Structures are given as C-alpha cells and as structure tokens.
C-alpha cells in the first residue's frame, strides 16, 4: 500500500483530501477544524515513510492559487485599512516577531543551542519558509567552507520539528480563546461595518413624509447631511409613482420606499415622518423589479454612480447579493463579476438594463484564463525580484508574497483597460478552496516523516517544546493585545494572527470559524511586513550567534 502511494502522488493527494475534508466538518463543542484537518491527515500519511510525500509543485501551486485569490478579494479592504489602523497593526506584528526573536535568542543562551538550530527553530515556530531560505543563504556566504554542508542541514532539522506545531498551536489557541471570550462572529461583523459588508438583513419600509424641512435638500443632500446608510427607491407624489434619484425633491405628503438595515431605516424614517402601511413597491405595473447578474466585464470595477442608469434607462439598483451576503447598492459601491443586483425600472426598460449589466449566468461560469494567468505570472515575477536591505542582506517575496502583493493591487484597480482582473465570486471561492487543499495536503505529507523521525532523536523534544512555547506565546499575546487592548474585532485579529504567522492554514481555519471575510483583511494588511520582518530577524539571529 505504501509503495502504491509513493508511485502515485495524485492518488495520495486525492486520499488525503478525501479523508481530511470530511473529518474537518465534524464538530466538537460546536466548532470544527474545517479544511485545516487536511493538514493533519497529510502529516499522518507522511509519517508512514520518507517517500510518502507530494511533489513540491503541488505545494507551490496550491500556495500561489490560494494567496492570489485571497489578494483579489482583499485588495480594496487592504488599502482602506491603512486609512484606519494599518500602521498600528503592522507595528504590533513587528513587535511580536521581535519578541519571538528575543525568546529564541534566550533559548539559545539557556540551553546552549547551536546558532543554526536556533535560526531554524525561529523560522519553524513561525512557519516561514522564506525565513529558512534566508538563513540558508546566510550560512552559505558566512560559514567556513569545510563545515557549510553540515551547518546547512541543522536549521532544516529544527525547522521541520517546530513547523507542524507552528500551525497546530495557532489553531488550538484560536479555538480555545474564541470559546473563553464567547465570540459571536456574526454580531461582531454587524457591529463593525467599516471593515466591509456585514451581511445584516435588509428591510424595506414605506414612509409617509411629514417633516417640513424635507424640501430644503434633494435626496442626495439629505443622505449626505445625516449620513443615512439607506437607499430610497420609489416615491409616490400625488398618486404618481416614480423612481428616486439623487436630485429628487421630497415634499410632505409623499410616500417613499426606504431600504436598509432595520436600525438605519428607522433612523431615516423617524426624521422623515411616520411608517405607512401602504406598500408602494407592490405595484409592478409602472415600476418593476428583477434580480440580474453582473456578467458584463465592461461594467466590472466601476461604481454604480458612474453607470448613470437612472439617466440612461430610467433604472436604479437597490441591493447587491455577493455570495451569501446582501447589502445596499450605493453610489460608490463597486460592481464585481457575479454580483446579483436588484434592479427597479419601468417594465419596458428591463431588457436595456439587462444588456448593460450582462445578466448571463453562463458567462459567470467561465474564468478569463488570460487575465488570471497574466496576474499569476506578474505575481511570480515580483516574487522573484531580489530586494536589497541594509547590511548586505537581500530577500525575495517568493511565491507567496509576490502573488499576494500583485493580487492586492489588481483587486483594488479591478481592471486595466479591457482586461478585468476580478474573478466571479463563485470561481474565486472554488480556486481558493482547491489551492488551500493542495497546499495543506502537500505540506502535511512533506512534514510528516521529518517531524516524527527528528522528534524521536536526541534534542528533538527540546526543539519541539521551545517551538510550542514561542508559537503559543505569540498567539496568546497577539490576540489579547489586539482584541482586548486595541479592541480590534476578533475576526480581523484572526487574520492578523494568520498574517503574523504567514500561514494560509491558519487563515483557512479562521475563515471557517468566522464565516465572513474579516480575516482576509487582517491577513493581507500585515502579511508583507511579517514576511520581511521574519527574514530579517532570522538573519540577525545568525549574525549575533555565529
């Protein structure tokens, strides 16, 4: 059986995924490991024999696909985060990584460990392969020639022992703290709308306008002045029904339809007048409504306001459904491939609106291979660029950092001329899930045997225990300081922790727990700083200890 797995890596990949994925759905105490269970199954298979492992290309492909798709969806949120707290979050992560380096330095002095073992321990406990690669490059150029070969093997050994618990330790800490702190991720997402769409249920109420001040401003002026997070869709004035535009002027006695969350709708309704029992949105003879898909790539990446649907075809968009989340279609909302929008328009103009938006499900089931592959290629090229740092140190963003950085930028700009970088929402999730499964299965099988064999040798237990202490300390301190001291939402903090660890497996677990995109924002915000910091600190450790 073992030989069969060695000879058939695709069979090994299929078995690890087929066993790990359903195991991850099993709930214990109301929570489950999710896709992270694939990692543990991979470790179990890999421990059987040193040759039971997936090719490195599987690991690399999975990593690239995962971080690239995460970057595409996180681009807008990543750049917006620096207007809020990006500097603070990155400073926190940099401080935590410095503390981890100090802990590794202390362990070296207390237990009289080799410098090379210490460097590998630091990189492994923080699960960062580029940091290990940086350490190996440093050893090649700095160590005596007669001992280079032996010294190159030592950080790899300690890295392989510390790495698995660098993942498992983070997941365990997250699992425990979310229970102890009784985190309600859905409620948290609703309370922090500044991080994106909360998914809170939208309602539609008809309001009888009574406030005499309503005539002082057009609709867009009222929304801007009172900061209402609502959409006004229809207005009935003197028994005539029409759409509400930004320049529409309301008067006392008008009936107006308001859409938004219950809290926001009632806030606007209380100022305008009183809630009416009459449902003006039920009359579909003059104004109809339909759900349409955004499949026309020419409108993707553009704001709703820029489409000028009201002026061109007498239509407005009121709601957008993206994945499982429904939110308001406001003027500055940027349309993405796969969005399902609710259109309100005269029945005779619906076909024109459909032509503008595309409204083709078939078109959404196809990925633009050219733009997708070009984006990946750009990311890999950026990752291969050597970047010089003070002290003669150079580093590369690698196959994880390069695609992520490029995808963040492409996700922010959405399109370049006729090239649309976005993926349809469903396609993005599919590629992301496949990438993560490939990545977890590969690193699990490749780490399984070295972990077991090294652990059983002399010194392996000590490295293992020190690695756990560093990993768990970083996780506990980061989550406590971020969530309890800085009051950062736990969902965002899980992403920051995964970014500090530069670990997609932890991010995958975080996404399983939160059921929203908040972890992606935290991960993308701190990942670049985390990867650079770890490479630097690993080489500084070698400089101080060799």
213 shares its domain with 181: no
> DSSP string covering 480-491, please?
IIIIIIS---HH
Helix, strand, coil percent values for the chain (each to nearest 5) = 65, 15, 25
pLDDT given at position 390: 65
Instruction: List the structure tokens of 309.
Output: 């649907």
Contacts of residues 389-398 at CB distance under 8 Å and 24 or more positions apart, as own/partner, are 389/536, 391/543, 393/134, 393/138, 393/535, 393/536, 393/539, 395/130, 395/134, 395/532, 395/535, 395/536, 396/130, 397/130, 397/528, 397/531, 398/129, 398/130, 398/133, 398/531
From first to last of the 546 residues of the chain, give the pLDDT tens digit: 788 988 899 999 999 999 998 888 787 655 566 777 887 888 889 888 888 989 988 988 988 898 898 888 878 767 776 676 778 998 999 999 999 999 999 999 999 898 989 998 999 899 876 677 667 767 776 667 666 666 766 787 788 788 888 888 999 999 999 999 999 887 887 766 655 555 567 888 999 999 998 888 899 899 989 889 899 999 998 888 889 988 899 999 999 999 988 888 999 999 999 999 888 776 677 888 899 999 888 888 889 999 999 889 989 999 998 876 788 888 888 888 888 999 999 999 999 999 999 988 777 777 888 999 999 999 999 988 887 766 666 667 777 778 888 998 998 888 888 888 888 888 888 898 898 889 888 878 887 787 777 666 656 888 889 999 999 999 999 999 999 999 999 999 999 999 999 887 888 888 888 888 788 888 878 887 887 788 789 888 988 887
Structure tokens that stand for 513 in this block: 């727990």
pLDDT at 424: 84
Backbone angles phi, psi at 423, to 5 degrees: -105, 150
Residues 223, 153 share a domain: no
Regarding whether 150 and 18 lie in a shared domain, the answer is yes
Give me the DSSP letters along 79-146. Answer: HHHHHHTHHHHHHHHHHHHHHHHHHHHHHHHHHT--HHHHHHHHHHHTT-HHHHHHHHHHHHHHS-GG
Token pair for 36: 């992270």
Last residue of a domain, one of 302, 333, 364: 364
Strand, coil or helix: 408: helix
Q: Are residues 40 and 95 in the same domain?
A: yes
CA-CA distance, 335 to 301, in Å (whole number)?
A: 6
In which domain, by residue range, is 394 found?
Answer: 2-191+370-545
Structural domain ending residue among the three candidates 298, 329, 364: 364
| Residues 150, 137: Cα–Cα separation, whole Å | 14
Based on the fold, state whether residues 216 and 261 are members of the same structural domain: yes
Considering the domain architecture, whether residues 336 and 389 belong to the same structural domain is answered as no
- Statement to judge: residues 83 and 232 lie in one domain: no
Cα–Cα–Cα angle for 243, 249, 250, rounded to 5 degrees: 85
Cβ neighbors of 428 (< 8 A, separation 6 or more) are 69, 72, 73
CB 354 within 8 A of CB 371: no
The rounded distance, in Å, linking the Cα atoms of 469 and 125 is 9
Residues 409 and 469 in one domain: yes
Q: What is the pLDDT of residue 109?
A: 94
| Predicted TM-score (pTM) of this structure | 0.69
Name the strand (E) or helix (H) holding 248: none
Same domain for 379 and 319: no
What lies within 8 Å, CB to CB, of 115 at 6+ separation is 108, 541, 542, 545, 546
Please give the Cα distance from 116 to 97 (Å, whole number).
18
Coil, strand or helix at 49: coil
Give the angle subtended at the CA of 250 by the CAs of 245 and 251, to the nearest 5°.
165
Same domain, 173 and 205: no
Q: Residues 530, 130: contact at Cβ < 8 Å? A: no
Domain co-membership, 207 together with 296: yes
Closest C-alpha to 502, from 473, 476, 532: 532
Is the sign of the CA dihedral 123, 39, 518, 473 positive or negative?
Answer: negative
Residues 380, 399 contacting (CB under 8 angstroms)? yes
**What is the DSSP pairing of strand 240-243 with strand 231-237?**
antiparallel
Which residues of 323-397 form beta strands (DSSP E)?
A: 325-328, 340-345, 387-389, 393-395
Closest by alpha carbon to 104, among 28, 162, 145?
162
pLDDT at 449: 80
Do residue 341 and residue 245 come from a single domain?
Answer: yes
Tokens of 123: 């990189």
Of residues 506, 473, 482, the one with CA closest to residue 183: 482
pLDDT of residue 86: 78
**Nearest alpha carbon to residue 265 among 254, 280, 276, 253:** 276
Calpha distance 354→496 (Å, rounded): 40
Q: How far apart are CA 526 and CA 88, in angstroms?
A: 10
Torsion of CA 147, 152, 158, 159, to 10 degrees: 170
Q: Which of 543, 519, 534 is nearest to 133 (CA)?
A: 534
Q: What is the CATH number of the domain that holds 249?
A: 3.30.70.1450
Q: What is the pLDDT of residue 192?
A: 63
Query: Among candidates 340, 334, 346, which has minimal Cα distance to 306?
Result: 334
- Residue 395 pairs with which residues in a beta bridge? 387
Say if residues 436 and 66 touch (Cβ distance below 8 Å): yes
Residue located via tokens 């309600």:
184
Write down the pLDDT at residue 471.
95
The tally of domains found in the chain comes to 2
The residue from 364, 396, 424 where one domain ends is: 364
Contact 235, 281 (CB under 8 A): no
Total residue length of the chain: 546
């Amino acid at each position: 059986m073992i030989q069969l797995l060695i000879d058939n890596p695709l069979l090994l990949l299929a078995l690890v995924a087929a066993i790990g994925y359903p195991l991850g759905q099993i709930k214990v105490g109301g929570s489950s490991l999710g896709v992270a269970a694939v990692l543990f199954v991979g470790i179990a298979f890999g421990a059987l024999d040193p040759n039971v492992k997936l090719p490195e290309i599987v690991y690399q492909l999975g990593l690239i696909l995962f971080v690239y798709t995460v970057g595409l969806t996180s681009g807008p949120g990543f750049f917006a985060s620096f207007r809020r707290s990006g500097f603070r979050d990155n400073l926190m992560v940099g401080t935590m990584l410095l503390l981890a380096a100090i802990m590794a330095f202390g362990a070296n002095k207390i237990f009289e460990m080799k410098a090379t073992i210490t460097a590998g321990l630091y990189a492994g406990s923080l699960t960062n392969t580029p940091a290990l690669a940086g350490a190996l490059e440093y050893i090649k150029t700095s160590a005596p020639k007669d001992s280079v070969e032996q010294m190159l093997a030592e950080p790899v050994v300690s890295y392989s022992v510390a790495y698995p618990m660098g993942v498992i330790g983070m997941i365990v800490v997250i699992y425990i703290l979310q229970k102890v702190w009784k985190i309600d991720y859905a409620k948290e997402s609703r309370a922090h709308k500044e991080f994106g769409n909360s998914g809170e249920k939208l309602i539609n109420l008809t309001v009888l306008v009574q406030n005499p001040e309503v005539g002082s401003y057009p609709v867009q002026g009222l929304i801007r002045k009172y900061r209402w997070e609502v959409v006004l869709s229809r207005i009935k004035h003197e028994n005539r029904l029409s759409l509400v535009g930004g320049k529409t002027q309301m008067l006392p006695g008008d009936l107006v339809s308001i859409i938004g969350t219950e809290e926001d709708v009632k806030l606007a309704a209380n100022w305008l007048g009183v809630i009416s029992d009459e449902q003006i949105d039920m009359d579909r003879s003059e104004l109809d409504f339909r759900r349409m898909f955004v499949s026309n790539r020419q409108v993707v990446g553009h704001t709703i306001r820029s489409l000028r649907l009201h002026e061109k075809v007498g239509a407005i968009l009121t709601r957008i459904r993206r994945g499982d989340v429904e939110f308001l279609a406001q003027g500055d909302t940027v349309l993405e491939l796969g969005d399902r929008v609710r259109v309100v328009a005269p029945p005779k103009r619906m076909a024109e609106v459909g032509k503008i938006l595309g409204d083709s499900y078939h078109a959404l089931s196809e990925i633009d291979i050219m733009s997708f592959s070009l984006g990946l290629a750009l990311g890999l090229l950026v990752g291969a660029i050597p970047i010089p740092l003070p002290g003669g140190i150079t580093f590369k963003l690698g196959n994880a950092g390069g695609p992520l950085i490029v995808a963040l930028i492409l996700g922010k700009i959405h399109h370049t001329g006729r090239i649309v970088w976005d993926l349809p929402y469903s396609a993005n999730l599919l590629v992301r899930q496949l990438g993560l499964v490939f990545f977890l299965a590969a690193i699990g099988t490749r780490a399984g045997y070295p972990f077991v064999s090294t652990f059983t040798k002399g010194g392996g237990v000590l490295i293992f225990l020190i690695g756990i202490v560093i990993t768990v300390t970083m996780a506990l301190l980061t989550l406590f300081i971020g969530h309890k001291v800085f009051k950062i939402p736990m969902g965002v903090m899980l992403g920051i922790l995964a970014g500090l660890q530069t670990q997609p497996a932890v991010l995958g677990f975080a996404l399983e727990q939160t059921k929203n995109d908040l972890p992606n924002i935290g991960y993308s915000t701190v990942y670049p700083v985390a990867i650079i910091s770890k490479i630097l600190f690993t080489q500084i450790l070698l400089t101080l200890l060799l």
